[in-house]
Amino acid sequence: MNLPNALAYSHTLLGECVGPGDTVVDATVGNGHDTVFLANQVGPTGHVIGFDVQDAALNATQTQLTLTGLSPQVDLHATGHEHVGDYLDDIVSIAGAIFNLGYLPGGDKSVVTQAATTLTAVKTLLQHLRRGGRLILVVYSGHPGGMDERNAVVDFCQKLPQKTYQVLQYGFINQIHHPPFLLAIERR
């Protein structure tokens, strides 16, 4: 067994807090990898709400969901995750949320997540995160602008009140390139 990378560990952490019937958010649908994982976790009685600004990514993910029979419990929205509040009932509580920051691998590398919209979405989601729920960010910083977003997100997380949240940072520190690292915000 090898130490899992940030992407693999994000699923371990979500698997521990998300179960059948839960509502969760995939803030960056992309290739649908997380969406499918979450749809399996919440099952037919649960609800996955997904966001992406790239139609091609959403269409490919929708096809995957239809083929695997997971479509009924998933709603995909072709808009930025900063609008997540428009799609969450005031009283809904979520068990988990995931962000894969940066660009979509294999997609248009000029389309990247941005600090301001990422933080707007994170703040909205934290208002809905239930106790024991986890909001996960997989943070890439090697692309242009990536370090600015990384710093803004880390700074925001460091200031979250420790009475209400604990924030874990998990990542490898001896790699030459900028491997992604993980931030997990857990509501106490």
Joined together, the tokens standing for residue 75 give 């709603």
- Which is it for strands 181-187 and 129-139: parallel, antiparallel or unpaired? antiparallel
Cβ burial of 152 (10 Å; 0-12, 13-18, 19+) is middle
Residue closer to a copy of itself, measured from CB, 64 or 93 = 93
Angle formed at CA 163 by CA 166 and CA 155, multiple of 5 degrees: 50
Calpha distance 122→13 (Å, rounded):
17
Among 22, 82, 149, 186, binds a copy of itself (CB under 8 A): 186
Q: Contacts with a copy of itself in 115-154 (CB under 8 A)?
A: 132, 134, 154
Among 71, 115, 160, 178, binds a copy of itself (CB under 8 A): 160
- By CB under 8 A, what part of segment 43-62 binds a copy of itself? none
Q: What binding mask, one character per residue, do residues 2-31 give for a copy of itself by CB under 8 A, x or -?
A: xx---------x--xx--------------
**CA–CA gap between residue 133 and residue 142 (Å, rounded):** 29
Q: Which residues bind a copy of itself (CB under 8 A)?
A: 1-3, 13, 16-17, 132, 134, 154, 157-162, 165-176, 183-184, 186, 188
